[in-house]
């Protein structure tokens, strides 16, 4: 569970394909914990320094920028990844209320501002409306 701005807690969902990577990271972190010995500080974090302390915000930023460059995609803020995630979920047919829960928004209107409707979705909507009004032809 993750504490969020409101009073309720948020359960993070994780694609099954991500689990092996998280398990490998946990194993690597256990080795770091053992190597650090008494220098390890337990903060119950997934991503830490080599001594268990919270990472500096700039490290996360640097890793994000490196990832974008390696992937060959345009420069973007880390927060933009939330917009991308919301848009991808909607494009996969996930109901906006589910996307709202995943993103942790209290109001669906906030989620609606995150979603960017792609041309393919607009074309699909047009095709469906045509089929509803005039049949499949």
What pTM did the predictor assign?
0.68
Tokens, residue 48: 């830490």
Q: Looking at the predicted structure, is the pLDDT value of residue 97 above 60?
A: yes
List the chain domain ranges: 77-137
| Neighbour count for residue 79 (Cβ, 10 Å) | 8
Please give the backbone phi and psi of residue 5, each rounded to the nearest 5 degrees, phi first: -55, -40
pLDDT tens profile 50-95? 999 999 988 888 999 999 999 999 999 988 998 999 999 988 889 9
Q: Looking at the predicted structure, is the pLDDT value of residue 6 above 60?
A: no
- Per DSSP, what are the bridge partners of residue 54? 48
pLDDT tens profile 8-43? 676 777 889 999 999 999 999 999 999 999 999 999
For the CA atoms of the chain, what is the radius of gyration? Answer: 20
* CB 96, CB 90: distance < 8 Å: yes
């Amino acid at each position: 569970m993750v504490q969020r701005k409101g009073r309720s807690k948020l359960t993070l969902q994780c694609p099954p394909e991500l689990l092996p990577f998280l398990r490998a990271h946990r194993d690597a972190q256990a080795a770091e914990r053992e190597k650090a010995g008494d220098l390890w500080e337990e903060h119950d974090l997934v991503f830490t320094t080599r001594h268990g302390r919270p990472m500096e915000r700039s490290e996360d930023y640097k890793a994000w920028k490196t990832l974008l460059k390696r992937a060959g995609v345009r420069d973007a803020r880390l927060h933009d990844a939330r917009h991308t995630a919301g848009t991808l979920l909607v494009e996969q047919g996930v109901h906006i209320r589910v996307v709202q829960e995943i993103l942790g928004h209290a109001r669906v209107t906030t989620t609606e501002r995150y979603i960017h409707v792609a041309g393919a979705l607009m074309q699909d909507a047009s095709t469906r409306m045509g089929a509803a009004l005039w049949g499949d032809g």
